[in-house]
Chain A
Amino acid sequence: MTTTTVAAKKRNVRINGCVAAAQAAKYADVDVITAYPIRPYTATMMALAQMVANGELDAEYIVADSEHSQLSIAHGASSSGARVFTGSSGVGVQFAYELYSPISGSRMPVQMMIADRTLDPPGDFGSEHTDALSTRDMGWLMGWSCDAQEAFDNHLMGYRIGEDPRVLLPQMVCQDGFFVSHITTDCELPDSGQVNEFLPPYKHPYPLDPRHPVSHGPQIMPEQGPPLQLERARAMEGSVPVIEEVHEAFAQIFGRRYDPWIEEFMTDGADVVFFMQGGHAVTARHAIRHMRQRGANVGLVRLRTIRPYPTDRVMNVLSKFKVVGVIETNMGLGSVSSGGSLYAEACGALYESDKRPLVLSFMAGMGGEAIVLKEFYWMTQKMLDAQKRGAIEKRTHWVGFEE
Chain B
Amino acid sequence: MSTKGTHIPDWLQVPFAGITPAPSQTKGQDLFPTGNWRSIRPVYRDKMPPCNNACGTNEKIQGYLDLVKRGKYLDAYALIKEDMPFPSVTGRVCYHPCEQACNRGQHDEAISIRAVERFLGDLGQALPKDVVVAGPPTGKTVAVVGSGPAGHSAAYQLARLGYSVTILEKSPKAGGLNRGGIPDWVLPQHVLDREIERLVELGVTIQTNTEVGKDVTWDALKNNYDACVLAVGLTEPNSVRADGEDKGGVHYGLPFLRDIGMGTSTVKLGPRVAVIGGGNTAIDCAREAFRQGAQEVTMITVESNTQEMPCVPEDLHDMLEEGVELMHGFAMTAVRGNGTVDALELHPARFTGAINASPIAVNREVAGVNFPVDQVIIAVGQHPSLQWLPAEFKNERGTIAVDAFGRLGNTNFFAAGDIVQIGSGQPLMVVNAVGDGKRVAFNVDRVLRGERLEPRAIPIDVITDLKRMNMTYFPHFPRVAQEMLQAASRRRTQDEVIQAYSEEQAVEEANRCFSCGTCNACDNCYLVCPEPCIVRPERSNGLYKILVDYCKGCRVCIEECPTGCLEGVPELDFDTGVVRMDTAFAITQGLHGRQAKELRELPNLPAKDIENWR
Interface residues of A, CB < 8 Å — how many?
26
Cβ of B92 within 8 Å of any chain A Cβ, yes or no, is no
Within 8 A of A (CB), among B1-43: 1-3, 6, 8, 12-14, 16-25, 28-29, 31-37
> Bound complex: CA of A120 vs CA of B41, how far in Å?
45
Interface centre among B3, B14, B19, B591 (most CB of A within 10 A): B19
Q: Which residue of A lies closest to B37 (CB)?
A: A219
Contact across chains for A234 and B32 when beta carbons are under 8 A apart: no
Q: Is the CB of B591 within 8 A of A222?
A: yes
Chain B, 21-75, CB within 8 A of any chain A CB: 21-25, 28-29, 31-37
- In the bound assembly, the distance between CA atoms of A132 and B539 in angstroms comes to 54
B68 to chain A, nearest CB (A): 39
Within 8 A of A (CB), among B146-196: none
* Secondary structure type dominating chain B contacts: loop
Asked if A215 and B592 make an inter-chain contact with CB atoms under 8 angstroms apart, the answer reads: no
Please report B residues at the A interface, Cβ cutoff 8 Å: 1-3, 6, 8, 12-14, 16-25, 28-29, 31-37, 552, 585-586, 588, 590-592
Q: How far is the CA of A174 from the CA of B418 in the complex (A)?
A: 93
**Binary per-residue interface labels of chain A (195-232) against chain B in the complex, 1 for a CB within 8 Å, 0 otherwise:** 00000000001100000011111111111101110110
For the complex of A and B, 3 pairs with smallest distance between CB atoms: A223-B591, A213-B22, A218-B32
Inter-chain contact B35/A221, CB cutoff 8 Å: yes
Do B20 and A214 have beta carbons less than 8 Å apart?
yes
Assembled-state Cα–Cα distance A227/B11 (Å):
11
A107 to B34, CA, bound (A): 22
- A230 and B35 form a contact (CB under 8 A): no
Chain B residues with CB under 8 Å of A5's CB are none
A230's nearest neighbour on chain B, judged by CB, is: B6
Chain A positions within 8 Å of B35 at CB level: 219-222
Contacts of B6 in A (CB 8 A): 230, 234
Residues of A within 8 A of B34 (CB): 219
Q: Does chain B have a CB within 8 A of A237?
A: yes
- Given that A205-B16, A215-B28 are known contacts, is A233 also in contact with B33, CB under 8 Å in the complex? no
Q: How far is the CA of A224 from the CA of B33 in the complex (A)?
A: 10
Q: Tell me if B36 and A222 are in contact (CB < 8 A).
A: yes
Q: Nearest Cβ in chain B — how far from A344, in angstroms? A: 17
Q: Which residues of B contact A224 (CB under 8 A)?
A: 12, 14, 18, 31-32, 590
Q: Which of B16, B17, B592 contacts A223 (CB 8 A)?
A: B592
B19 with A206: CB separation less than 8 A? yes
Given known contacts A223-B592, A233-B2, A237-B3, A215 and B16 CB-to-CB distance under 8 angstroms: no
Question: Please, which residue of chain A has its CB at the minimum distance from the CB of B7?
Answer: A230
Given contacts A213-B22, A215-B21, A216-B19, contact A221 B3 (CB under 8 A): no
The reply to whether A228 and B33 contact each other, CB–CB distance below 8 Å, is no
Tell me the smallest distance from the CB of B583 to a CB of chain A, in Å. 10
Most chain A CB atoms below 10 A, which of B8, B18, B22, B588: B18
Complex A-B: 29 CB contacts under 8 Å: A106-B17, A206-B17, A206-B19, A213-B25, A214-B20, A214-B21, A215-B19, A215-B23, A215-B28, A215-B32, A216-B19, A218-B23, A218-B32, A219-B32, A219-B33, A220-B18, A221-B33, A221-B585, A222-B35, A222-B585, A223-B590, A223-B591, A224-B590, A228-B17, A230-B3, A230-B6, A233-B2, A237-B1, A237-B2
A residues less than 8 Å from B21 (CB atoms): 213-215
A216 to B23, CA, bound (A): 10
When distances are taken between beta carbons in the complex, the residues of chain B under 8 Å from A217 are 18
Query: For the complex, is A339 an interface residue (Cβ under 8 Å from B)?
Result: no
Q: Which chain B residue has the least Cβ–Cβ distance from A213?
A: B22
Q: Which residue of A lies closest to B15 (CB)?
A: A206
Q: How far is the CA of A312 from the CA of B322 in the complex (A)?
A: 107
Residue ID in chain A nearest B588 by CB atoms: A221
Taking CB as reference atom, which chain A residue is nearest B595?
Answer: A223
**Once bound together, how far apart are the Cα atoms of A224 and B30, in whole Å?**
13
What residues of chain B lie closer than 8 Å to A216, measured between beta carbons? 17-19
CB distance from A102 to the nearest CB of B (A): 10
Is residue A87 within 8 Å, beta carbon to beta carbon, of the partner chain?
A: no
Contacts of B585 in A (CB 8 A): 221-222
Which A254-270 residues have C-beta < 8 A from chain B?
Answer: none
Query: Which residues does chain B contribute within 8 Å of A228, judged by CB atoms?
Result: 14, 17-18
CB of B550, distance to nearest CB on chain A (Å): 8
Instruction: Name 19 extra pairs, CB < 8 A, besides A218-B31, A224-B14.
Output: A107-B16, A206-B19, A213-B25, A214-B20, A215-B20, A218-B29, A219-B35, A220-B18, A220-B32, A221-B590, A221-B591, A223-B590, A224-B31, A227-B14, A228-B17, A230-B6, A231-B14, A233-B3, A234-B6
